[in-house]
Amino acid sequence: MYRLPPDPRQRVLLAEQVGIVRDGLAASRTATATLARALLAIHDGELYRVAHGTFEGLCRAEFDLTRSRAYQLLAFARVVENVGADNSGRVAVPKRESHARLLAALPPGRQVEAARLVQETLDAEGRSQARTADFAQAVRTVGGKAENPNLQDTQTPPSLCRWICERLADAGVRPKRILDPCAGNGNLTRPFAQADVVAYEIRQGRDFFRAEKLAVDLVICNPPWKDALRWLQQVVQVAGNRTPTVFICPVLFFIGYKDAAVRRYLESPAAPVFNHLTPLPSDTFVKVYCPGAILWLNLPGVRNVALVPGDRLVRSNDDAPAGCPRPVRPAHASSGTTIDRRPEPSHPFAG
């Protein structure tokens, strides 16, 4: 694929960040927040493309870092960035990777809450340096015992949610009542400002698999991928097989073997009409490295699109932009976005 020549300013910025990482690795065997944030700047700014094809390739060539170690450092940096974004001065920003790993088991908003508890402990005891025990206790207080961050819930990126809303609006789909069977933080339905949302979330005691039949104008769902077929079948059971549905799932579920269970179901009379799909890159979701797809079901008016614009694939779990107030009614907020009306190529799986 042809790429534009790199901007000379990117070369300068890459050299600066590489220098910071090298100096940090040479100075200490323990990773610092400064080192991790420089690596994050290289990754999120895609500076590695200047001299290397991939982020992993740059890490191996420049720093002798394995892929897993590089992404551990990125996770460290993301926690530091998230907590450091609180400008109140009342949070303990983790300086050690071990502290950040404890906070990483929490959703972003609760990471800040836990860091605030740590700072309160330091102030009360007259200390300036936090201990691992301080962060561990704060994590237990805020969200229970810290779990493996790789098992943490993954939310649909808000930028992608807004793009989905825009595509539906472009097709004239303006639902008054939406069903979100696996709501999480409410990202998927937040752009639909005027709609009434029926949200199910097991962590809030609302189990979708106990739901009764509902009359809704739209279903929008990003379920646990390992049980995607089961969730789709339950959607049909609750909302019917003719309700417009946006369903996000792993692409391999139906482009693998021709007799795969999902393919067989979509071909059956009981299933919704499968109009087309939009593929998603492997790194669309936080902590997930698997290609996904948006299935547009009972939505013939939504035009085929082969690629989601890159600025709508900002990898984040955050359920609202910084400074954006949470709505009182779940999953509601203003969309305030512009529809992408650029010409779109037809997708080979178009129905």
User: Residue ranges per domain, the chain?
Assistant: 1-84, 102-150, 158-312
| Residue 272 and residue 243 in contact, taking contact as beta carbons nearer than 8 Å | yes
Strand-strand pairing, 245-250 and 274-280: unpaired
- Tokens representing 69 are 């170690």
Amino acid at 87: N
Q: What is the pLDDT of residue 316?
A: 61
| Residue 200 and residue 180 in contact, taking contact as beta carbons nearer than 8 Å | yes
Q: What is the pLDDT of residue 30?
A: 74
Q: What is the pLDDT of residue 145?
A: 44
Length of the chain (residues) = 351
Helices (H), the chain: 8-27, 33-44, 55-58, 67-84, 97-103, 108-125, 132-143, 158-170, 228-239, 252-255, 261-266
Q: What is the pLDDT of residue 50?
A: 82
CATH 2.40.110.10 fits 158-312, yes or no: no
CB half-sphere exposure, 191, CA atoms < 13 A: 23
Q: Which residues of the chain have pLDDT under 70?
A: 1-7, 144-153, 253-259, 287-289, 312, 314-351
The sheet carrying 292-297 orders its strands as: 196-199, 177-180, 218-221, 245-250, 292-297, 274-280
Q: What is the pLDDT of residue 238?
A: 95
Q: What is the pLDDT of residue 259?
A: 66
| Residue 307 and residue 346 in contact, taking contact as beta carbons nearer than 8 Å | no
Name the phi and psi angles at 275, rounded to 5: -80, -55
- Tokens representing 68 are 């897993």
Q: What is the pLDDT of residue 153?
A: 61
Name the phi and psi angles at 15, rounded to 5: -60, -40
Q: What is the pLDDT of residue 296?
A: 94
Q: What is the pLDDT of residue 106?
A: 84
CA distance 94 to 118: 10
Q: How many CB atoms lie within 10 A of CB 50?
A: 19
What is the distance of C-alpha 97 from the center of its chain? 22
- Tokens representing 21 are 């990482």
3-state helix/strand/coil string of 198-255: EECCHHHCCCHHHCCCCCCCEEEECCCHHHHHHHHHHHHHHHCCCCCEEEEEECHHHH
